Amino acid sequence: MKYILIDADTGIDDSIAILFALKRKDVRVVGITTGFGNTNARQAADNSLRLIQLSGVDYEVPVAVGATGPLVGEWEGPVPHIHGHNGIGDAQIPASSQQPLEEAACDFIIRMAKEYEGKLTLVTLGRMTNLALALQKEPELPRLVKNVVFMGGTYHAPGNVTPVAEANIAGDPEAADQVLQAGFDITMVGLDVTQKVRLTAEHIEKLDKYAAPENRPIVDYLKQAMPLYFRFNRQQNNCLDHCPVHDPMAMLTVVDPALVTTRRMPARVECGGNFCRGMVVTDLREYPMDAQYLNICVDVDGRKAVEELLTTFMD
């Protein structure tokens, strides 16, 4: 069994990652923490609670609200043109009677790390602010958790918010650099792989046809949410009814590491600069700079990844 704590800015691709994890028999989601990004942290928590209920998962998944902005500077605000006004593509799914915890996300992360000492994988799908705050309170965190897998950054692929930076890292570079240098066993699932994995309108049709009966609410949700995401990708990236698979790819990497090829490289996050703020700077020199080594995903079996994602929702 894989014990996972998910930290998300619960938007459309986060929601697919969350539903996928909740549906896996080999995964136990010990909780979800939320932060700002695609939407605000409270809305992200509300979305997460709705998705937990929608999934029909048969155990309790606590949700804790986290950071409302980055460690340095101001949050630029949500992105309704990508993720809708509610963060989940303006899809209407039933509200949950479950409430978020009173406990702050960073405290919940520390508590779960201790409860599942040595067994917990932290999967971050948004800014790393909650994890950086947890580290500041509990510097032993890298020793307490098994590993960290994060969706974010890019090694060779172009950035998606600046020429060289990806949104989750650019949204809080200071937090990301603190986490990357803290001593975790850490894997970067960045744009080099997520851009190579494509979800298409045909895939949603296939799900509509073959989804297990108990997953009908999930398919109905995806049919509501995905058109907006496809439209953004069409307008922004010339994608005709397809989109990259960002956050679900991080979850897929956790459940099936053989899907990706990784390379160990020392890396830092650029926290200054006019053009490169938020860039993940890797050092391939023989005598590299003093930086922590990351497992950076450099390639992926995209067809297999999508099949594994979709079949999880099928009979």
Active site residue 247: no
Cβ proximity to ligand BDR, 14 vs 270, nearer residue: 14
Smallest separation, CB 221 to ligand BDR (Å): 16
What, of Ca ion, ligand BDR, none, does residue 203 touch, CB below 5 to 8 Å by kind? none
Q: Is 41 in the site for ligand BDR (CB under 6 A)?
A: no
Q: Is 129 in the site for ligand BDR (CB under 6 A)?
A: no
Active site residue 246: yes
Cβ proximity to Ca ion, 6 vs 164, nearer residue: 6
Q: Which residues of 119-142 are buried (b: 16+ CB within 10 A; e: fewer)?
A: ebbbbbbbbbbbbbbbbeebeebb
Smallest separation, CB 25 to ligand BDR (Å): 25
Stretch that binds ligand BDR, among 9-17, 141-149, 206-214, 233-241 (CB under 6 A): 9-17
Smallest separation, CB 254 to Ca ion (Å): 15
Active-site residue, from 9, 14, 177, 192: 9
Cβ proximity to ligand BDR, 116 vs 253, nearer residue: 253
Number of residues lying near ligand BDR (CB under 6 A): 13
What, of Ca ion, ligand BDR, none, does residue 167 touch, CB below 5 to 8 Å by kind? ligand BDR
Cβ proximity to Ca ion, 22 vs 144, nearer residue: 22
Cβ proximity to Ca ion, 110 vs 245, nearer residue: 245
What, of ligand BDR, Ca ion, none, does residue 166 touch, CB below 5 to 8 Å by kind? ligand BDR
Q: Is 145 in the site for ligand BDR (CB under 6 A)?
A: no
Q: Which residues bind ligand BDR (CB under 6 A)?
A: 11, 13-14, 38, 125-126, 151, 160, 166-168, 246-247
As annotated, the active-site residues are 9, 246
